[in-house]
Chains A and B, each alone.
Chain A
């Protein structure tokens, strides 16, 4: 747990993302992004792309490889597919964030829960729409394994993996400093079939602080 020294009043940008919505925005090198879990136990599915060349994007596997550890917290460098640090987590009052669980999709919901869950809103649809609305149109191919801020996906030494109850709470946040100009794409997860949102999707707030 590392608290931030930044005062929310110093933010140059603030936006509340309702549950089930997407948000796409550029964060300049040196600026800090804070994601605030307003009501607790909300999963913020997040992707990053290099603003200069979106072919370079967040890499879950490279981030895991670089720190030889699964969970993201203060000090974690969020690595790109080209092996460059994109952002560094500088504050975290939640303590652990997931990058194994990926995003929900209508298709994977049929596999995970039941065929009749196909109609339910899912993160990949939000990611697709957000990606299409960026200045350079991005597509499904650009949407890869994401970060789930505030989500708890413990792996046991025996190799089991579960979606556990969240360890976040109202007012907890994670902060990261951009090491390059990045585009951030968030799907504020609408999943109702597992505990990632405490079965109650709620808004998150994003704040951007100047360098």
Chain B
């Protein structure tokens, strides 16, 4: 199937768009070791947003993989992971800011490096959020797709390097019309001291909402109930 849209982000690339219900967004790591920071909002009700705690406690899981879902803070599904060659995507470590990037990678501003300068995830999120009328109050704990962080019994976290190999991908199907805000800055706990400019390909494909026997809805009874809340929302709204 040909994508409806295709773009390759380079380095700390940014992208935001509204993608309607049923369509699928595929992110492919072209170089390996990439990270995609992502936030999701209901496109029409932008105070409804991706919610890390409800995603985790609703599915009894600490990370994301197919066929699990991304839950909003309103008891509904924003998206489902429909395909995934990686198997582990971090949900808890948040994003870098300018101070952390400066401390970790050293000074490399636009004046020095032109468009190869060292951007940071927080700035990238805030820039794209502003274009949709959103701001600091809407910047909540984000997803770090393609990256893996594991916890030991005491809760100490370890970053697992090269979790994603060249050609690895994750595909999300949107379950509600969704504002997607993403960027390809490094994971905040990535110990690599070099600021690498990796490539991630974005593709959007046409698609349909899931059937009731869809793996994303059957993997947990919570997901089916959240889906029923989506159905109620769509029945009343449209």
Interface size grouping (class) on chain B: 35 or more
**CB atoms of B56 and A108 under 8 A apart:** no
Q: Is B161 close to A, CB under 8 A?
A: no
Residues of chain B within 8 A of A156, CB atoms compared: 62, 151, 153
Indicate whether A102 reaches chain B with its CB closer than 8 angstroms.
Answer: yes
Shortest distance in angstroms between A52's beta carbon and chain B's nearest beta carbon?
A: 14
> Cβ of B92 < 8 Å from any Cβ of A?
yes
Q: Please, which residues of chain A bring their CB within 8 A of the CB of B150? A: 157, 159
Q: Which of B53, B88, B155, B228 is in CB contact (< 8 Å) with A102?
A: B53
Given A111-B58, A115-B225, A140-B47: A157 and B73 interface contact (C-beta under 8 Å) = no
- Residues of A within 8 Å of B136, CB to CB, are 55, 81
Cross-interface CB contact of B155 among A59, A69, A107, cutoff 8 Å? A69
| A19 → B minimal CB distance (Å) | 20
CA distance in complex: A129, B153 (Å): 37
Q: How far is the CA of A64 from the CA of B159 in the complex (A)?
A: 13
Is B60 interfacial (CB-CB < 8 Å)? yes
A121 on interface, CB distance cutoff 8 Å: no
Q: Is A1's beta carbon under 8 Å from chain B? A: no
Question: Contacts of A65 on B, CB cut-off 8 Å?
Answer: 93-94, 188-189
A side interface size, CB within 8 A: 44
Bound CA span A197–B154, Å:
22
Shortest Cβ distance from B223 into A: residue: A111
Which B residues are in CB contact (< 8 Å) with A103?
53
**With a CB–CB cut-off of 8 A, which chain B residues contact A114?**
225
Q: Which residues of B contact A69 (CB under 8 A)?
A: 151, 154-157
Across the interface, A155 reaches (CB within 8 A) one of B53, B58, B62, B73, namely B62
CB pair B138 A141 closer than 8 Å: yes
Q: Which of A46-68 contact B (CB under 8 A)?
A: 55, 59-62, 64-65, 68
Residues of B within 8 A of A96 (CB): 155
B137 interfacial contact with A, CB 8 Å: yes
Quick one: which of B56, B100, B156, B226 contacts A100, CB cutoff 8 A?
Answer: B56
- Decide if A111 touches B229 in the complex (CB within 8 Å): yes
Whether a CB of chain A sits under 8 angstroms from the CB of B169 is no
Q: Bound complex: CA of A145 vs CA of B51, how far in Å?
A: 8
Q: Does B14 contact A (CB under 8 A)?
A: no
Query: Could you tell me the distance between the alpha carbons of A68 and B158 in the complex, rounded to whole angstroms?
Result: 8
What residues of chain B lie closer than 8 Å to A71, measured between beta carbons?
A: 154-155
Query: Is B152's beta carbon under 8 Å from chain A?
Result: yes
Interchain CB contact under 8 A, B61 and A161: yes
Q: Is the CB of A70 within 8 A of B228?
A: no
Check A161–B229 contact: CB distance below 8 A: no
Residues on B with beta carbons closer than 8 Å to the beta carbon of A109: 75
- CB–CB B151/A155 < 8 A: yes
Tell me if B131 counts as interface (CB < 8 A to partner A).
no
A200 at interface, CB cutoff 8 A: no
**Which residue of B has the minimal Cβ distance to A144?**
B140
**Is the CB–CB distance between A61 and B62 below 8 Å?**
no
A18 within 8 Å of B (CB atoms):
no
- A112 and B53 form a contact (CB under 8 A): no
Q: Mark B131-149, 1 if CB is under 8 A from A, else 0.
A: 0000011111110000000
Identify 14 new A-B residue pairs, CB closer than 8 A, beyond the known A108-B51, A145-B140.
A55-B137, A64-B93, A64-B94, A65-B188, A69-B154, A100-B62, A102-B54, A108-B58, A108-B73, A110-B75, A111-B76, A111-B229, A141-B138, A161-B60
- 16 A-B pairs with C-beta separation under 8 A: A61-B94, A61-B141, A64-B94, A69-B155, A71-B155, A83-B100, A100-B53, A107-B75, A107-B229, A110-B225, A141-B47, A141-B138, A144-B140, A145-B53, A153-B57, A156-B153
Please give the residue numbers on chain A whose beta carbons come within 8 Å of chain B beta carbons, in ascending order: 55, 59-62, 64-65, 68-71, 81-83, 96, 100-103, 105, 107-112, 114-115, 124, 139-142, 144-145, 153, 155-157, 159-163
Question: Which residues of B pack against A, CB within 8 Å?
Answer: 47, 51-54, 56-58, 60-63, 71, 73-76, 88, 92-95, 97, 99-100, 136-142, 150-157, 188-189, 222, 225-226, 228-229
